[in-house]
């Protein structure tokens, strides 16, 4: 089974967010980058499916050269080869076009992504790619089992979940508890160094949106502490000051 896993290279979840250059660029100073947490679930499930059914895992990132260490980490976790489309991932349609081009060129039984990226949180790329390829797309997928040419999956719906049976191939945006995040072991790290990472130019430069600038939210005021023996005061504040109850 051939699986394509699309990964983002994003600031660690604990990062302080700041901008430079007149609020037009993300400030990378001191920021640790990671595989997007949802993409990491997708990758972990791909590794499990490969263990079970055999085949090959290709990871794909649309990004600049600073994403290479993140891609190597995905190879260390268990992907067999990697492709990086060398471009700044500015717009989700642009990214989707790149992913669709790679997917068309290969024969993939499954295209796994995260439910959303944690930088722009669009949650949109999987649907776009599905449409561009004429394949079904599902998200957020919480469970995924493959049997022959079909799959059983569980999708989260608001306030619950739904089980589906579908034919391969398709696109899935993954989230927990589809698999547990995998930590690369020493052998994985060593072998990742020599696994192929192909860098390609983008196929098409169409974008649908451009960034004007970034903004930070206004700073939060100081917390008002209320004594645990005076909860009527808390109720009063919620009712008359915040006016939320």
Ligand X SMILES: Cc1cc2nc3c(=O)[nH]c(=O)nc-3n(C[C@H](O)[C@H](O)[C@H](O)COP(=O)(O)OP(=O)(O)OC[C@H]3O[C@@H](n4cnc5c(N)ncnc54)[C@H](O)[C@@H]3O)c2cc1C
* Residue ranges that bind ligand X, judged by CB under 6 A: 13, 37
Could you give the maximum distance between any two Cα atoms of the chain, in Å? 67
Residues 17-46 within binding reach of ligand AMP (CB under 6 A): 36, 38-39
Which partner, other proteins, ligand AMP, ligand X, none, binds residue 219 by CB below 5 to 8 Å per kind?
A: none
Contacts of 140 (CB under 8 A, 6+ apart): 115, 155, 156, 173, 174, 175
Out of 58, 92, 137, 175, point to the residue binding ligand AMP (CB under 6 A): 92
Which partner, ligand AMP, other proteins, ligand X, none, binds residue 225 by CB below 5 to 8 Å per kind?
A: other proteins
Shortest Å distance, C-beta 168 to ligand AMP: 18
Number of residues that bind ligand AMP (CB under 6 A): 24
Burial track 56-78 (b if 16+ CB lie within 10 A, e otherwise): ebbbbbbbeeebbebbbbbbbbb
Our CA angle for 207, 83, 67, nearest 5°, is: 75
Nearer Cβ to other proteins (147/162): 162
Residues 50-89 within binding reach of ligand AMP (CB under 6 A): 60-63, 89
Which partner, ligand X, ligand AMP, other proteins, none, binds residue 63 by CB below 5 to 8 Å per kind?
A: ligand AMP
Residues 126-155 within binding reach of ligand AMP (CB under 6 A): 126
Nearer Cβ to ligand AMP (76/125): 125
| Structure tokens that stand for 78 in this block | 């268990």
SS3 of 84-151: the string is EEECCCCCHHHHHHHHHHHHHHCCCCEEEEECCCCCCCCCCHHHHHHHHHCCCEEEEEEEEEEECCEE
Name the residues that contact ligand AMP, by CB under 6 A: 6-8, 36, 38-39, 60-63, 89, 92, 95, 113-114, 116-117, 120-126
């Amino acid at each position: 089974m051939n699986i394509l896993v699309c990964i983002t290279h994003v600031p660690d979840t604990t990062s302080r967010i700041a901008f430079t250059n007149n609020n037009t660029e993300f400030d990378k100073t001191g920021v640790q980058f990671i595989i997007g947490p949802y993409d990491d679930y997708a990758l972990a499930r791909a590794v499990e499916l490969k263990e079970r059914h055999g085949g090959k895992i290709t990871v794909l990132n649309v990004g600049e050269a600073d994403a290479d260490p993140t891609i190597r980490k995905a190879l260390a976790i268990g992907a067999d080869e990697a492709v990086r489309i060398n471009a700044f991932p500015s717009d989700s349609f642009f990214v989707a076009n790149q992913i669709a081009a790679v997917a068309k060129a290969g024969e993939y039984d499954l295209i796994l992504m995260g439910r959303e990226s944690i930088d722009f949180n669009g949650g949109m790329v999987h649907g776009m790619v599905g449409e561009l390829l004429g394949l079904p797309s599902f998200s957020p997928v919480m469970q995924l089992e493959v049997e022959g040419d079909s799959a059983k999956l569980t999708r989260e719906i608001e306030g619950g979940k739904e089980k589906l049976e579908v034919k391969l191939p398709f696109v899935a945006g993954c989230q927990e508890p589809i698999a547990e995040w995998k930590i690369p072991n020493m052998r994985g790290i060593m072998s990742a160094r020599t696994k192929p990472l192909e860098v390609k130019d983008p196929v098409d430069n169409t974008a649908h949106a451009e960034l004007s600038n970034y903004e930070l939210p206004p700073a939060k005021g100081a917390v008002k502490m209320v004594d645990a023996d005076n909860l009527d005061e808390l109720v009063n504040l919620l009712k008359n000051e915040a006016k939320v109850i």
